[in-house]
A and B are shown apart, each in its own frame.
Chain A
Amino acid sequence: MKAETRSESIWGTWPGVARLRLQGTTLFASGLSAFLAILIGLPVAMVILMSLRTGFPGEVVPFTLENFAEVYLTQRTYEVLLNTVLFAVSSVAVTLVIAVPLVWILMRTDVPFKKTIYVLLTVGILIPVFLRTIAWILLLSPRIGLLNKWLQELFSLSGPPFNLYSLTGMAFVQGISFVPGAFFMLAAAYRSMDPSLEEAAYTSGVGKLKTFLRINIPITLPAIAAVMVYLFMTAVAVFEVPAIIGLPSRILVLSSLIYTSTTPSTGLPNYGVAGAYGAIMLVVGLTLALLYVRVVKQGKKYTVITGRGYRPREIALGRWKWAALAFVFFYLSIEVFVPFIVLLWASLLPYLQLPSAEALASLSFKHYIEIPTRVGLQPFINTAILMVAVPTVTMILSVLVSWVVIRTQVSFRGFLDTLAFIPHAVPGILMAVGLAYLGLAYRDYFPLYGTIFIIILAHTINWIAYGTRTTNSVMIQVHRELEEAGRVSGASAPRVLGKIVLPLIAAGVLNSWIWIGMLSYREVTMSLTLLTRGNVVVSTVVWQFWGSGWVPQVSALGVILILFAAIVVGTLRFALSRLGEVGGTS
């Protein structure tokens, strides 16, 4: 073994071998790029292909622009586009109004219970959006909303103060659901913000609120702008809120039109029209992705960051501590507590009712007991497969991409990085429609339609952008010297990656693994678009239950889903923190 190492070392110093290694790396990077290009490009190509065809997938028909004419010569399309923009802008506005103060309070002040608040924010992300939307209907529906009823009685109002069935209502629910994501994205910027300007303001006697508005917000504006673009991209693509609140009241956005084109309430699916709608979504998504990359680059240029090792001082809130805590509690109430309580209440009732003595007397665990009979085992098995396979495949690909991008000198590494980011610009629903088309039209070459593997593929493609962003940032923190030492001692590139880089980035990779697993667990749009009898997962069961009007059963399943997610994440995070400590000491 020693002799082998020595011989490798001797060979490693030979310039010819070094050249071969570089060629090997280039070859590997080329293969990876080609694989990713096919993986990401095929569904996108299918969307373009189906937009140029009429009829069903697999039917041999000539190319046509008929679908584009049908879509873009109709006034409704432009109304829907306007709705989409308004919905996305308003959702982002709602998010920022809550997320920016929240991140400042938690990152820069001495507000108490920070750890608990972080945990609750994570739980907030795990509550599926459609379950939260159902809870909001029970609270803010103009006719039956509890909050509306209470406010009407309290202030003797003639009508309900809130109407959830509006673009504003949709944006409110969607915006609230974006807050935890925006929080974690902004937290890094606030954490690394130079506190000297802030402290100078306090020394000059400027108040906390004024400092927050005049100093903190302008300094972090590039980060906020990047988050805005990112959330806007996401808001254009989301489906659950537009489906549950928008569709019944005919408030259509682009994603709901794509969904109803492929799974219509009446008539037959029209993939061509879905493709034509998808084309504009694709253009918007790619443009926004480009904008996002530019904003992030600009942000890096102008953000004021302190030197290494500087730890910003926490601002003592004094008597404002309780006001800050009240704000956080208000947010957590609308994000976590209220939806969960509403679901819990609904899950214990024989049929959905507003609180009353009669309803209270009828509470039981009947729907929980019935879950195994109603759902069966297969959706749970499929969900477990998703939760393991999706993060594993995504993280393997992400590590490989990041290794090429961060650690090699391959000339086209920038292209590979951009390629891995593209899926974020392609809305999930479009990706799923493209894959469904591919599976139906070219089943002989792509025999995945109707299996759980097609959902694994859709999820993997969808989260590869997230995975690579994480692995890029983790890998960049590992100093090159360690790898170079490995290479000098004659270890091959895969060996260096496996023995040196991977153990060092294990905690970060595992963290993303858990996160992607949980995102896959709660995802419904892509799973629903690709749903067949053979690939039912728990989230699509919940959706079907809702469609069948089984609200108490949906709620019982929802409560179990949330508790399960909270337990899994809690346990894994605990285990991970131990692993992080081990990694840190070694």
Chain B
Amino acid sequence: MKRFSLLLMASLWGLWSMGGSAYAAASKLDELIAGAKKEGVIEFYGPSTLGPEGAQALIAGFNKRHGLNVKLNYSPSGNMTRDTAKVVGLSASGQPPEWDIMVVTDAHHGSLWLRKLHKPFDYASVGVAKDRTEYDNGTISVANQFALPAYNKKILPANDVPKKWEDLLDPKWKGKLGVINSTHHWGRLAAGPWGEEKTIDFVKKLSAQQPILTRAGEMAQRLILGEVLVSATLQDSQLHEAKESGAPLVFAEQVQPVISPEYHVGVLKNAPHPNVGHLFVAYMASADVQSIWEKYTGHTSAYVPGTTAYKFAQGKQVVYMKQDQAAKVDKISRQIGKILGFD
């Protein structure tokens, strides 16, 4: 009888707290919606691969879901590292950021998190699964990129395609390789499976190959033209764009481990429109966004079973970055930038 009473009380408590938290979530959501309605606009920084149409598809879905009429101003990224640095610089100067929310990689958000430049929010309180939030509730994970050596399949003979990372150090590639400015790719390997020493040694040898140094988008063009034969790393974002236009760019898929930068979205500290920002971040965790994001950028979340990214990752050694690696990735990425000659 006593056991039954305890069980009954526990059930009642559970029901009450569920109802209570559902009520709390609804009220929190209502607060955000009301705030968003007043703000009416969102300054959105996202990957250039999303494009204006993708950005407008997102805001259309967002407005439909919440019955709002928020206007989205899209700033396509030209250089995520530079723009992250800009946020840091503006904040240090006491200036508000140019954007409310930024969709950049977890490494870039790591740099922001280290400098406390997010405006955290309890996203679980508006129904976002806890395992999607990162950086102390500063961001949520949207989708995974994959980065590997890439080449033009019409130009590079099949037997020349690299099969492991070390193949890139073969002297035959001297002057024919490219390296993009996403030095956090190497930082992830350093903080993860390779360790700092091996990574630095590898990058030094890679630098000795006299690669062409440039940004990812420009590198894709150089690969398409055949000016660069292999790009040491390239994100699948560029491959997706190439595929859309019919350009023959592909990954050297045998190379492992596969680096997986994650697109995170978070509201910036002192963002001019925080309510619409948080509401939009919560929306970005929804299943609807997965399909929009895949349509325009080619990316999905590797944590959501059944998605393209999830399937791609199966059976591969994939390097994901963790929050506690942010400081190391930030430091080593800058060091690697200097070794390669970017700065």
Question: Could you tell me which A residues sit within 8 Å of B by CB distance?
Answer: 55-59, 137-138, 141, 143-144, 165, 247-250, 260-261, 263-269, 350-354, 362, 373-374, 376, 440-441, 443, 449-450, 532-534, 543-544, 546-551
- Across the interface, do B334 and A443 meet the contact criterion of CB distance under 8 Å? no
B89 and A548 contacting across the interface, CB-CB below 8 Å? no
CB < 8 Å: which of B73, B93, B225, B228 contacts A56? B93
Nearest neighbor of A264 in chain B, beta-carbon distance: B343
B228: which A residues are within 8 A, CB to CB? 143
A350-B81 in contact (CB<8A): no
Contacts A264-B343, A267-B343, A547-B79 given; does A351 touch B85 at CB 8 Å = no
Can you spell out 5 A-B residue pairs with CB atoms less than 8 angstroms apart?
Answer: A265-B342, A267-B343, A350-B247, A549-B215, A550-B48
Q: Does A549 contact B213, Cβ atoms closer than 8 Å?
A: no
Q: With an 8 A cutoff between CB atoms, is B217 at the interface?
A: yes
CA distance A59 to B90 in the complex (A): 11
Q: How far is the CB of A542 from the nearest CB of chain B, in Å? A: 11
Given the interface pairs A350-B245, A547-B78, the reply to whether A376 lies near B52 with Cβ below 8 Å is yes
Interface residue from B53, B76, B342 paired with A266 (Cβ < 8 Å): B342
User: Are A449 and B98 in touch, CB under 8 angstroms?
Assistant: no
From B75, B89, B337, contact of A533 by CB (8 A): B75
Distance (whole angstroms) from the CB of A107 to the closest CB of chain B: 41
When distances are taken between beta carbons in the complex, the residues of chain B under 8 Å from A374 are: 51-52
> Is the beta-carbon distance between A549 and B92 smaller than 8 angstroms?
no
Q: CB-CB < 8 A to B169: which residues of A?
A: none
- Residues of A contacting B43 with CB < 8 Å? 533
Name the residue on B nearest A137 (C-beta): B227
Contact status A352-B224, CB under 8 Å: yes
When A and B form their complex, which 4 residue pairs have the shortest distance between CB atoms, in order from nearest? A549-B217, A266-B337, A56-B92, A58-B93
Indicate if the CB atoms of A550 and B227 lie closer than 8 Å.
Answer: no
| Assembly CA distance A267 to B79 (angstroms) | 12
User: Closest residue to B48 on the A side, CB-wise?
Assistant: A548
Within 8 A of A (CB), among B192-222: 212-221
Instruction: Please name all residues of chain B whose beta carbon is closer than 8 Å to the beta carbon of A443 when the two chains form the complex.
Output: 93-95
- Give chain B residues whose Cβ lies under 8 Å from the Cβ of A266: 81, 181, 183, 333-334, 336-338, 342-343
**Residues of the B chain whose Cβ atoms lie less than 8 Å from the Cβ of A440:** 89-90, 93, 95
B217 near A352: Cβ-Cβ < 8 Å: no
Are A547 and B217 touching (Cβ within 8 A)? yes
Q: For residue B247, which residues in chain A have a CB less than 8 angstroms away from its CB?
A: 350-351
Q: How far is the CB of A23 from chain B (nearest CB, A)?
A: 44
Smallest Cβ-Cβ distance to A444: which chain B residue: B94
Q: Across the interface, do B343 and A265 meet the contact criterion of CB distance under 8 Å? A: yes
Is B216 a contact partner of A549 (Cβ separation < 8 A)? yes
Give the complex CA separation of A490 and B61 in angstroms.
Answer: 72
Docked pose: A234 CA to B23 CA in angstroms: 67
Docked CA distance A441–B334 (Å): 25
Q: Bound state CA distance, A534 and B90, in angstroms?
A: 14
Q: How many angstroms from the CA of A165 to the CA of B214 in the assembled complex? A: 13
Contacts of A59 in B (CB 8 A): 92-93
Contacts of A268 in B (CB 8 A): 85, 88-89
Which residues of B are found within 8 Å of A143, using beta-carbon distances?
176, 225-228
Contacts of A352 in B (CB 8 A): 221, 224-225
- Asked if A549 contacts B238 (CB within 8 A), the reply is yes
**In this complex, what residue of A is CB-closest to B241?**
A549
Q: Which residue of B lies closest to A143 (CB)?
A: B227
Judge whether B79 and A265 touch: CB under 8 Å: yes
Contact of A265 with B48 at beta-carbon distance under 8 Å, contacts A56-B92, A354-B225 already known: no
B89 & A549 in contact (Cβ 8 Å cutoff): no
A325 to chain B, nearest CB (A): 34
Cβ contact within 8 Å between A267 and B95: no
Q: Is the interface of A mostly helix, strand, loop or mixed?
A: loop
Contacts of B82 in A (CB 8 A): 263-265
Residues on B facing A (Cβ under 8 Å) = 43, 48, 51-53, 73, 75-79, 81-82, 85-86, 88-90, 92-95, 98-99, 176, 181, 183, 212-221, 224-228, 238, 241-242, 245-247, 333-334, 336-338, 341-343
- Give A98 to B7 CA distance when docked, in angstroms: 95
Q: How far is the CA of A549 from the CA of B53 in the complex (A)?
A: 17
Residues of A within 8 A of B221 (CB): 351-352, 549, 551
Q: Do A267 and B93 touch (CB < 8 A)?
A: no
Are A57 and B214 in contact, with the CB atoms below 8 A? no
CB contacts (< 8 Å) of A547 on chain B: these are 78-79, 215, 217-218
| Complexed CA–CA distance, A548 and B81 (Å) | 13
CB distance from A195 to the nearest CB of B (A): 50
**Interface contact B245-A351, CB-CB below 8 Å:** yes
Complex contact B85–A550 (CB within 8 A): no
**Which residues of the partner chain B approach A534 to less than 8 Å between Cβ atoms?**
98
Residues of chain A with a CB closer than 8 A to B86's CB: 263, 269
In the bound assembly, the distance between CA atoms of A533 and B83 in angstroms comes to: 11
Q: For A263, what are the chain B residues with a Cβ–Cβ distance below 8 Å?
A: 79, 82, 85-86
Residue in A247, A264, A353, A546 whose CB lies within 8 Å of B224: A353
Whether B78 and A449, one on each chain, are in contact in the complex, defined by CB atoms closer than 8 angstroms, is no
Residue of B whose beta carbon sits closest to that of A534: B98
Give bound CA distance, A204 to B53, whole Å.
74
Contacts of A264 in B (CB 8 A): 81-82, 85, 337, 342-343
Cα distance A265–B81 in the bound complex, in angstroms: 6
Q: How far is the CA of A138 from the CA of B227 in the complex (A)?
A: 9
How long is the Cα–Cα vector from A546 to B99 in the complex, in angstroms? Answer: 22
Residues of B within 8 A of A449 (CB): 95
Other than the known A143-B176, A352-B224, what 4 A-B pairs have Cβ atoms closer than 8 Å? A264-B85, A351-B245, A440-B90, A547-B215
Cβ of A541 to closest chain B Cβ, rounded Å? 10
In Å, the complex CA distance between A534 and B77 comes to 15
Q: Is the CB of B78 within 8 A of A548?
A: yes
Within the assembled complex, what's the spacing in Å between the Cα atoms of A264 and B341?
Answer: 11
CA distance A534 to B89 in the complex (A): 17
Q: Which residue of B lies closest to A56 (CB)?
A: B92
Known: A265-B343, A353-B224. Is A57-B76 also a contact (CB below 8 A)? no
A55/B52 contact (C-beta < 8 A), A250-B213, A266-B333, A351-B242 known: no
Closest to B56 in A: A373
Inter-subunit contact A248/B212 (CB<8 Å): yes
Q: Choose from A58, A351, A533 the contact partner of B98 (Cβ within 8 Å).
A: A533
Q: Which residues of A contact B216 (CB under 8 A)?
A: 549
Report the bound CA distance from A57 to B94 in whole Å: 9
Q: In the complex, which residues of chain B have a beta carbon less than 8 angstroms from the beta carbon of A549?
A: 215-221, 238, 241
Instruction: Report the Cα distance A267→B228, complex, angstroms.
Output: 25
CB pair B89 A269 closer than 8 Å: yes
- B341 / chain A contacts, CB cutoff of 8 Å: 250
CB distance from A75 to the nearest CB of B (A): 14
**Smallest Cβ-Cβ distance to B238: which chain A residue:** A549
What residue of chain B has the Cβ atom nearest to residue A378's Cβ?
Answer: B73
Q: With a CB–CB cut-off of 8 A, which chain A residues contact B183?
A: 265-266
Contacts of A350 in B (CB 8 A): 245-247
CA distance A354 to B334 in the complex (A): 36
* Distance of A449 Cα from B52 Cα, bound (Å): 25
B155 CB to nearest A CB, Å = 10
For A550, what are the chain B residues with a Cβ–Cβ distance below 8 Å?
A: 48, 217
Determine how close the nearest CB of chain B comes to the CB of A415; give it in whole angstroms.
35
